Structure 1
Amino acid sequence: MGTTSRSVSRRGWLMLGGLFVLGGGGAVACASADGRDERDLREVNTDVEPLRRRFRAIGRLSDPHWLGYNPNDSGREWIPDQDPRIRVVGVARLPAGAVKAIVGETTYAFGPSVPSQPPEELSEFLPKDAEWVGSVRYDEHITRSRYVGRFHLSPTTDHVYFDTVNPEIVGSSPSL
């Protein structure tokens, strides 16, 4: 089941990305004044359902702003990667008080954390007064160690910032 599940998940993200690009939501290559190709900013996605399916263990997400893209794609290849890595990164809200309850669980041993290199497109959606905390144990709880992912939580704003690679649907219930 592991290999098939991973392939289906990657294909699903690729199909989602392909539809997103075909629908005009992807990055567009253009030529600068000196003739070099440049990438326009990617369009931020606000669809919550793909996130709810993949990050079910976090709880009821709302008001998301996220990107799904291949960080290794320069836009210059004629043949796409055979095993692309899709980075899914963004921010979403949880119900009032949910983050405090999660962070209060001593099992996870949360500590101060800082999101690593948030994409420029997401900067306006990150809460200014967030005091981010993170936990490797909590990351493993969400990912079930089946994909790479970091989850930063803000008890002051009830936000979660996620930065994942090829996130899968792992079939878990909320941590609360």
Structure 2
Amino acid sequence: MTVRRSAGTERRRFLALLGGAALLPLGATAGCAELRPNEDHLRVRTGIEPLRKRFPALGELSDAHWLGYDLDEAGKRQTVPGPDSRIRLVGVARLAAGAVAATLGAAPAGERFETVALPADLPAPLAKHVPDRTDWRASTAYDLRILAREPSQAPAGEEAEGRFLLHEKDDRVWFDTVFLYT
């Protein structure tokens, strides 16, 4: 018994194979696009409200330039978030005029400020927003005071650690903090 195929069937089979072969590179390209690293951690942000929520004790803020990203995902391809996220907020903002002098002059007992330089590992996207890297003032007690928010202000399951440096000459604050969300 012989099976007969019509010319139409052969043509459809040929076109289906040709179409599949043409779509294969498109599928491979789309798959590779998913493997690109997440570079959102390099985007400089200028919003003030997220900083006000995290650091209400700093007072009035303006001219902010900062990065915010998940430390465990920075530079990696985007994935589903894990149960714990370590979010780094690092940057610089201007305080109200005279705020740094007032803070340094009225520091509570035990809040001794030392003169320091900005960290050497300053994130590259922020470098142009910090013209002076010397003569910053730092105090561990001040860091703890800024991070100590009222429990009602902190999201449930959030812990924070960080460093705040003050620059009296231009009333700036440098912050480098990590918030752990569980």
The two structures have a TM-score, normalised by structure 1, of: 0.67
1:26 maps to what in 2?
Answer: none
Alignment-mate amino acid for residue 145 of structure 2: H
Deviations 1:30-72 (A, max 9, x none): 99xxxx9666572110010111121110110111001100122
The one-letter code sitting in structure 1 at the alignment partner of 2:61 is L
After TM superposition, list the pairs within 5 Å mapping 1:27-66 onto structure 2.
Answer: 40=39, 42-66=42-66
Once residues 98 and 59 of structure 2 are traced to their aligned partners in structure 1, the CA distance between those partners, rounded to angstroms, is 12
Task: Say if 1:127 and 1:105 are closer, same or farther in 2 by CA, change over 3 A.
Answer: farther
What is the distance in 2 between the residues matched to 1:102 and 1:57?
11
> 3-state SS of the aligned residue for 2:164?
strand
Matches of 2:130 and 2:49, distance apart in 1 = 20
- Determine which structure has more spread, i.e. the larger CA radius of gyration: 2
Is 1:114–2:117 an aligned residue pair?
A: yes
Q: Is the 8 A contact 1:112 1:132 kept in 2?
A: yes
Contact 2:118 2:133 in 1 (8 A): no
Name the counterpart of 1:24: none
2:63–2:94 contact (8 Å) kept in structure 1: yes
> Partner of 1:89 in structure 2?
90
Is structure 2 residue 162 aligned with structure 1 residue 159? no
Kindly report which structure 2 residues correspond to 1:60-75, keeping only aligned pairs within 5 A, or say none.
60-73=60-73, 74-75=75-76
- Name the counterpart of 1:25: none
Identity %: 42
Give the match's secondary structure for 1:152: strand
Task: Check whether the contact 2:38–2:78 (CA below 8 A) recurs between aligned residues.
Answer: no
The Cα offsets for residues 102-146 of structure 1, whole Å up to 9 and x where unpaired, read as 012242211012333221110000132652110000001011185
Q: Shift of the alpha carbon at 1:75?
A: 1.6
Gaps of 5+ in 1: 1-29, 169-176
Residues 149 and 167, structure 1, Cα contact 8 Å, conserved in 2: no
Give, as a single letter, the amino acid of the residue that structure 1 aligns with 2:171.
Answer: D
The residue type paired with residue 122 of structure 2 is P
Aligned residues: 135
What TM-score does the superposition give when structure 2 sets the normalisation length?
Answer: 0.65
Counterpart amino acid of residue 118 in structure 2? P
